[in-house]
Amino acid sequence: MSITDTSTNKIVAAVVFAAVAISGSLVFFGLKMSNGGVSDSALEEKVFKGIDAYISKEQQKSADAQAEAEKPKVVTGDFSDDDAFLGEKNAPITIVEFSDYQCPYCGVFENETFPKIKAQYIDTGKVKLVFRDFPLSFHPYAYPSALFAECARSLSTNGNVDYFKVHDKLFETVQNGKFDYDVMSTFAVSLGINKAELKKCFDSDKFKDEIAADQKSGQSAGINGTPGFIVNGQVISGAQPFEKFQSVIEPILKEKTK
């Protein structure tokens, strides 16, 4: 939460408190004037019971609104396309990740959350993760990184295996500096990818339409920033902690094992 959000909440709380206090005072004096035979303590009890009831009602409304806002958005359709994936092809759960190699929040997910998802769910055959490109226009290294990875995958005899090696190297280099074609080319060649063919693919912008299709697919699901995820139809936005993914994955696994 930002400082502005906190200040706004304090102001709203103060206004509500003042309104309740004023209303309570008016009610108290109104009751006192119209109920001369009722003691001050009895009137106070009525007033404060009313205030407590009002506050409880408003708190419940706020809690209900918050719970509704936190419900994951659900989308229908297959968002995995034919993009690179990790895990068992027929795993019961598919996470489709829309990401940007230069996005710092994507880096946080890759370094902090993804290893836990991989260890607990991907490596155990419960989850398949599909990686799709969503390079943001204000990240100059995001698009060439996405293009390079797609070219490397198309030229590798190990397909997805080498793709994710390149993927990891890109996150390592781009997050710590910039996209360096020569560095990445040397790395790709070490995996057995043909240097000349790689250069040809990259220079021709061969996967421009593929990358655009990834973005369009994400946008159709309501994803407008990175990272964004679709977990068996449920949308998760941002670099959420492992526990957030766990809270979505576990109920799906339980349902599928009934």
Max CA separation in the chain (angstroms): 99
Report the percentage of the chain scoring pLDDT > 90: 67
Contact between 136 and 101 under an 8 Å Cβ cutoff? The reply is no
CATH of the structural domain 85-256, one choice from 3.40.30.10, 3.60.21.10, 3.40.50.300, 3.90.79.10? 3.40.30.10
pLDDT in tens, 72-81: 688 988 899 8
Burial degree of 180 (CB within 10 A; 0-12, 13-18, 19+): middle
Average pLDDT over residues 117-126: 98
With bands split at pLDDT 50, 70 and 90, how would you rate the model's confidence at 162? very high
pLDDT in tens, 122-150: 999 999 999 999 999 999 999 999 999 99
Q: Which runs of consecutive H residues, i.e. helices, occur in the chain?
A: 3-34, 40-70, 104-108, 114-117, 142-155, 160-175, 181-190, 195-203, 208-220, 242-256
Q: Of 241, 253, 225, 82, give the one whose Cα is nearest residue 142.
A: 225
Report the percentage of the chain scoring pLDDT > 70: 78
Average pLDDT, the chain: 85
With bands split at pLDDT 50, 70 and 90, how would you rate the model's confidence at 32? low
pLDDT in tens, 63-102: 555 545 556 688 988 899 899 999 999 999 999 999 999 9
Average pLDDT over residues 178-197: 97
With bands split at pLDDT 50, 70 and 90, how would you rate the model's confidence at 39? low
Segment among 52-56, 149-153, 199-203 with least mean pLDDT: 52-56
Q: Of 257, 155, 251, give the one whose Cα is nearest residue 199.
A: 155
65 or 56: which carries more pLDDT confidence?
Answer: 56
Measure the CA–CA gap between 39 and 123, rounded to whole angstroms: 72
Measure the CA–CA gap between 99 and 229, rounded to whole angstroms: 9
Identity of residue 252: I
Domain boundaries, the chain: 3-71, 85-256
